[in-house]
Structure 1
Amino acid sequence: MLSNQRAFFASTVRTKISEAQIRKYLSDESVRQLKDTRTSLYLRYHKDRQRASWWLMRYEDRQQYRHRIGAWPALSAKHIMEVVDANLASLAKGGSSECNPYLTVNELVKWHIQRQVNLHQLSQTRLTNLRSLAKKQIYPNFKDIQVRELTRTIIDQQLIQPMRANNYTVSYINASFSLLKTACAIAKGVHFMTTNPMADIFYKDFFSQSFSIRKSQVKGCQLNTHQIPDVLAQLDNQQPPQRLLILMLLAHGSRIGETRNARWQQIDFTRHQWTIPAKNTKNRREMIYPLTPYMLDALQSYRQWQYSNGYQADALFPTSRWNPKPIYSSKASEWVRTFSEQRWSAHDLRKRARSIWAELGVDYIVAEALLNHSGSALDEAYIYSHMADKKREALQTYHEWLNSCWLNTFTPVFSPNKIAA
């Protein structure tokens, strides 16, 4: 509660505040705030003129006090008088003012995502995933539901049960729930809301005590070793970009995000290695994959194919011939799902590569290094002093095995007559 020595500014406009009046003065920088003619309510514009704060003024013992009761546009003029009445009643009883009591769930989630965008702390991939979760699961299911109405029953009815009925994975449902819970927690923490209705609601509350969320999230590999020859044979029928992406995933056990972002400047044909910069790896540590003669032939042939189709930019997997940016995560995943007919994912290729390495006798630490998993300090010392040659030997053995499964595995793709995908 702050004392206010000057309720009126020279740039205060008295009006019956409505959405139309708010937007009327939005671009007029000479107007600092609007004063509602019905009560001691003010709307004060922020510097960016895209947002504003609702302030309720009251007098007590010859002193004027102000209470921030919401933010515009999250709290619209349509609902503000309800908020004013509720706060005046609370203050009259000696209670405190409440910020944004009529905020809807969708308004909250939109505010939360925009805040993450403004903070520049999350990757573009993570922000895209948050927007997708909100658009597909939160907004349709919580339309017009206010944050203060959130209870276990509402969340179960509007989110958990519908998503389970649509056969979404436990992990995906958890991600949607976590978006909602995180938004509430942050909004309370920065005083965007006065209370957090989800503070005592946990994901495990929606499952029986005998149900193990952790075990349900552990998914076995959907691709078996005996299927690899068929997979390699089917690659012959794919367009070069799809073929090389899937081949690199299987041949190195690399992550799909690291692979789709590969650039020619990271491929060293002289030193025979592919370097993934730290900014593109999950653990934010540089990863170096040795390139076997098999892989070098495949990459050089693919580069020639790109040149023959008029593409000379840096990305191995560009959005198009005219857009040199790497393909989006969703497009890369779509390529894999289409090829596998949704029977397995890119991560299954990584899992299967790891299993085959074990069957071929690749040392555990070497396999972990190829997966770019973080290890102990002792493992790290071993990795940096002995690992380069060990990784090269392991991949050479593995690629010989792949080639024995299907002789056309690493066959050059270059053909001047083919059209770029």
Structure 2
Amino acid sequence: MRIFLYLFSLLLFSSLCSAQDIPFGDYQQAYPFLNTKENKLILPKDNQALESFFSKLTEMQKKGNTNVRMLHIGDSHIQADFFSGRVRQRFHQTFYGCNAGLELVFPYKTAKTNGSYLYAIETGGEWTSCRNILSGAAGCNLGITGISVTTADSAAWFSIRMRKKLPLSYDFNQIAICTSIDSVKSFNISVPGFEHQKTDTTETYVCHFFKSDAYVDSTCIFVAKSDSMQKQVTINSVLLGTGDPGIIYNSTGINGADVAAYLRCPMFGPQLKVMSPELVIISLGTNDCYMENWDSALFEKNLDSFVALIQKTLNNPAIILTTPGDHFRKRKYYNTNLYVARNIIFRIAEKHQTAIWDLHTIMGGYKSILDWVSSGLAVRDKIHFTKEGYFLQGDLLFEAIISAWSDFITKDYAAR
């Protein structure tokens, strides 16, 4: 059975950014171990922040003259972008004409790690990397991506190319390349086919902005030395833009990241403020509770600090905390720590009045990861998921958000 939302008939004004009927999947029939009745956002008593996000989403759908920004933060479940990429895809397909681009990307291949399935990276020259999972990462001056790459090779380069046969186009005509302010003078950066527009300098990082007259699906970024004082350059984020109004769903994840990893990023707050998402989704906790002798009090302290940082930086944005998925430790031992982590997430959500998406319960609860493995939705390590499993999670999260938005519109319409 497919459920079609009627919420768009409740919108009173003509829409420039038109919304389509939203087919909800009948996942319970295909995967009876799912608890789809619980696929919803658990809302806080004070729901003002989320309602503000829904209001802006509604306004964008009506008038199509603004951006709605979302940011999904996580670990290895997010780095490959299958989970978050599916949510992005569903938003862009549902809100027809509101695809405002991919925006936040990173040349992960230069750091010898995996990246988003949406684009390919090629690289040349010698690069070194730093990631927020390292205890000394604070000295790397990391930002919102939790990773940086540095080169002292003045002939180094990397390219970004959108993959073919994607369900959506992510062409772009604007690029911003953000670099750290190092102790030595940085190399120049150039992007063939793009004209340099400006350079913004803050206390901790520099962003170089480029623009092209044409929309493209690939580009190449070069570093160059024009001064004997220039020694290296450190890149911590790349943004591909269109300048168009619509939905921007960014994601950032680092393999092995826990909450403390993002607290090691001194530029996280400043770059988050510039990005200014109206909704932040935090999918962390798996690595925090993975070890048998983990420090649950430290996890609670770190998550409390991280949520407080985001709320202070963005002046009370909408936040959704997701619970860790069901999993085993070292393939053999069921990780009962995740129940403690789940309870902590619920406590932090209540303290900061954030929403919750309870993935652990939705996927089936206790030892449901075994059902996901046998159904081809999770891999044999019993902690990570297949592409299909991540796509399913993305569908479920998107539908939980849209259902809450539908309830908001119905309530708002009835109050008129």
TM superposition score normalised by structure 1:
0.21
More strand by share: 2
Report which of the two has the higher share of helix. Answer: 1
TM-score, normalised with respect to structure 2: 0.21
Larger RCO of the pair (alpha carbons < 8 Å, separation 6+): 2
